[in-house]
Structures are given as structure tokens and as C-alpha cells.
Amino acid sequence: MSATDITSIHVMTVAVIRYTGGMGRWGPDARSRLERAAMELYVERGFEQTTVAEIAEQAGLTERTFFRHFTDKREVLFRGAGVLQDHILSAVMAAPASAAPLDAVTTGLEAAGDFFQGSPERSRIRQSVIETNTELQARELSKMAALASAIAEALRQRGVSNGTAALTAEAGIVIFRTAFERWIGSTGEKAWASLIHTALDDLRAVMVGTP
């Protein structure tokens, strides 16, 4: 299957979601209107082909209003990264002092469910847009790297050694990405915490060589 075919499948899948299931819990405020308009246009025309002016027009607002809420059109897709990170780090730091490093990270990753749960369609659309653009993919990887660094620092503050903190944080990112892919693949039907623990079990099985 060619890259073009894969992109087409993603676009068709998202289009079905948008026209049959709706976009999820979008508010009436300007930020939500702009976000919804941007997502619709990214799906219909492609990220690169969509301009800020078109997003604003689609939302019935001005370009000036767009830039009051977003620094650029990429930020529509990534503006929630800081909130997500805060959710995870707060839960890591709040884990019992007796918790092992990986258990503390797992607690943090479970907290991410508060950020995702309730809007699986939006998450699927966002991911499909990112997967069709190499620049966006690189930005997503950069966000994941920043999250890993932040988790490692949180573990150090809990008294974990540098090496163990870094390794555990990277393992946490593997668990997070695995759980997220399975969650959007299940259209949000599976509980986030359950997927986190399944991914954790899978990682442990790989580490000990269990088939």
C-alpha cells in the first residue's frame, strides 16, 4: 500500500467520523469555533493547503481573533500539550512515596485519561492530520521528548537516580504511545486506565522475554 493510499484511508475515516458522529464536545466560544473550523479544513483540504484566513472565515471570525488564541495553525493541534503534561506530572508527584518509579509514572499516565476521555473523535481526527504531515510528526515527537524529560525530572525530585529516572521516563512514553494508539483505534470504547495497564504488562512481558 502506498503512502497516498494510507493518507486517503485516514482522510476518509475522519470524514465519516465528522459527518456521522460529530466532533465531540466543542464549546460555543471563539477558541472552540476556531479549533473546529481548523480541523474540518485540515481534513477536507489538508494541513499544508489550509490558511489561517480560511480557518477564521470558516469559523465566522477574524484572523486577529485567531491569533489571540493561537500562535499559528500548528498550535491548534498542539495547544493542549502543556495541560496534558501538567496532569501527568501532578499525578507522578502525588504518588505514594513508597511507589516504585515505574508505578509512579503509571499513576501519572492514568491521569492523562482525564484529558482524553470524552473526546475520542477529536483525538482521532487530530492524530490522522498529524500522520499525513512530516513536519507535524516531528513536532509530535518533540512534544513526547519534552514530556519524557519532564517526567524524568519529576522522578528525580522523588529521589530517583538520574539513570533510573531517564530510563523509566522513556519506558513511560512507550506505554503512553501504545495505550493511545489502542485507545483511538477502539474509538474510545476501552477505558484509558485499562489500556495503560495492558501496555505496561506488555512491556514487562517483552523485558522478561515472555512470548
Cβ proximity of 23 and 116 under 8 Å: no
| Judgement on whether residues 58 and 150 belong to the same structural domain of the protein | no
113 and 59 within one domain? no
User: Is 187 found in the same domain as 101?
Assistant: yes
pLDDT for residue 208: 77
Given 60, 76, 92, the domain boundary residue is 76
With a CB cutoff of 8 Å and minimum separation 6, the contacts of 10 are 128, 131, 132
From the centroid of its chain, how far is CA 124? 9
Write out pLDDT tens, residues 87-107: 999 999 999 999 999 999 999
> Taking a C-beta distance cutoff of 8 angstroms, is the pair 191, 109 a contact?
no
| Rounded Cα–Cα distance for residues 190 and 117 (Å) | 10
Question: Radius of gyration (Cα) for the chain, nearest Å?
Answer: 19
Supply the range of the domain harboring residue 120. Answer: 80-208
**Residue from 88, 87, 93, 59 nearest 73 by CA:** 59
User: Quick one: 68 and 84 in the same domain?
Assistant: no
- In three-state secondary structure terms, 142 is helix
- Could you tell me if 95 and 174 lie in one domain? yes
Name the domain count of the chain: 2
Same structural domain for residues 51 and 104? no
pTM of this prediction exceeds 0.85:
no
Residue 14 and residue 117 in one domain: no
C-alpha cell at 138: 516531528
Claim to verify: residue 90 and residue 192 sit in the same structural domain: yes
pLDDT of residue 41 exceeding 50, the answer is yes
Last residue of a domain, one of 76, 104, 132: 76
- pLDDT above 80 for 17: no
Name the helix (H) or strand (E) containing 122.
Answer: helix 120-130
Which of 16, 43, 76 marks a domain boundary? 76
- The reported pLDDT for the residue numbered 26 is 42
Are 49 and 124 contained in the same domain?
no
Note whether 101 and 201 are same-domain residues. yes
Per-residue pLDDT band at 114 (split at 50, 70, 90): confident
Residue 168: partners with Cβ closer than 8 Å, 6 or more residues away: 101, 102, 105, 151, 152, 155, 160
pLDDT at residue 210, rounded to an integer: 55
CATH number of the domain to which 122 belongs: 1.10.357.10
> At 115, is the secondary structure helix, strand, or coil?
helix
Of 107, 65, 57, 61, residue with least CA distance to 87:
107
Does residue 72 sit in the same domain as residue 84? no
Positive/negative CA dihedral, 180, 39, 21, 29: positive
Q: Which residue has the higher pLDDT, 189 or 175?
A: 175
- Residues 66 and 123 grouped into a single domain: no
Rounded-to-integer distance, Cα 67 and Cα 52, Å: 9
